[in-house]
Amino acid sequence: MDAGRIVEMIHPPKLSLPDEMPLLQEAYIRVFRECSYSEPIRDNTFRPDNWLINFPFNCWHNDSSQPLETYQTLALVNALYFTFILREDTVIDDYHLPRDEFQPHILDYCQARVLREAAMKHLFDLCGSEVAAFILRYEQMYYNALIWEKTLRSEDVSFEAMASREHCEQLGRKVMPLCLSFAAFCLLTGNTGSIAECEELIINYHTAHQLFDDMADLLSDAEKPDASYLLRALAHHGIEKTSLRADNAKQVLLESGVAAQAVLVAERCLRVAREKAELLNFVYMLGQIECLERKIASAYALLHAEGQEVSS
């Protein structure tokens, strides 16, 4: 074994997400240019608190036996898949746009399919054919969740029904392909026993995170033809999205009881996410969970100030 590699195993290099993100962005840009007819948009996607991209770096704290390049490659896989999921979501959500506005989204989606293929190539190069079963599993879960969500949008479903475990799991499964990086890591290290815990972590954390995003994006979501999770709940209470304005949206959420229900579900899911993150010793994810726990605490304080009691 190379002497430098031995030293690295004894004293693994320190990992700093603020330092890793620019490196990851440059690697992403290189792949993008190889696969694309255009330049990638430089935005704030590659930031240390973007859990969807930096998720693979959680593995570093558990097992640094792999070269740092392995964790960087797995993060690149997530970045490529993240682009694919975002662009596919845009195509599904923005179908109502005029043709000349919608066509660029279709082209961007076609481009994202090529980025997905690049991500898959990296996975096969790292793990061989064993990773194929996980690709099939997670993409099936992802597409079934999209179909579920699209079907649910056309139904009158109470928030209580949507808050069931089945519905919450479907909401969380919309990012399941990003679990591929952990499955690949487990295949590399020969420890596949913890994959189920990672799946539960991703499903429950994303559900909690999505509910808070839906509250923050209530007005912008109301401008789209399809209703979000919370807008459907408001509709069940007889509140149409056309009645929402910047000066009343917050109060409507509070007075309808939908905010209280959303916070309760988010807290329930986050408890499971914390349990799994602690079990897996995912340091960066625990930091993300703590941030969301603070938001939940603030939301409870607001609900209490409004005279609403929330019990689990």
Cβ–Cβ < 8 Å for 179, 52? no
DSSP 14: P
- In sequence order, the 6+-apart residues with CB closer than 8 A to the CB of 117 are 35
Q: Does domain 13-303 have CATH number 3.40.50.960?
A: no
Give the up-direction half-sphere exposure of residue 250: CA atoms within 13 A in the CB hemisphere: 7
Residue 31's identity, in one-letter code, is V
Taking the domains of the chain in order of start, what are their residue ranges?
13-303
pLDDT at 17: 85
Query: Exposed, middle or buried, 253 (CB in 10 Å: 0-12/13-18/19+)?
Result: buried
- pLDDT tens for the chain, residues 1 to 312: 443 443 343 334 567 888 899 999 999 999 998 887 777 777 678 888 899 999 999 998 777 778 889 999 999 999 999 999 999 988 888 888 888 999 888 988 898 899 999 999 999 999 999 999 999 999 999 999 988 887 766 555 666 776 777 777 888 999 999 999 999 999 999 989 999 999 999 999 999 999 988 888 888 888 877 777 788 888 878 888 888 888 888 888 888 888 888 899 999 999 999 999 999 999 999 999 999 999 999 988 888 776 665 555
Q: At what angle do helices 249-256 and 258-280 cross, to 10 degrees?
A: 80
Cβ–Cβ < 8 Å for 105, 91? yes
- In sequence order, the 6+-apart residues with CB closer than 8 A to the CB of 71 are 15, 56, 57, 59, 60, 185
pLDDT at 244: 87
pLDDT at 66: 86
Q: Which two tokens stand for residue 29?
A: 């840009």
Cβ–Cβ < 8 Å for 109, 91? yes
Torsion from C-alpha of 78, 214, 197, 164, nearest 10 degrees: -140
Which value, in Å, is the radius of gyration of the alpha carbons in the chain?
Answer: 21
Cα four-point dihedral sign 124, 126, 129, 132: negative
pLDDT at 235: 82
pLDDT at 11: 39
Alpha carbons 116 and 142: distance in angstroms, whole number: 14
Torsion from C-alpha of 86, 152, 156, 233, nearest 10 degrees: -40
SS3 256: helix
Cβ–Cβ < 8 Å for 108, 219? no
With a threshold of 0.85, does the pTM exceed it? yes
DSSP readout, 169-236?
Answer: HHHHGGGGGGGHHHHHHHHHHT--TTHHHHHHHHHHHHHHHHHHHHHHTHHHHHTSSS--HHHHHHHH
* Phi, psi dihedrals of residue 15, rounded to the nearest 5°: -110, 125
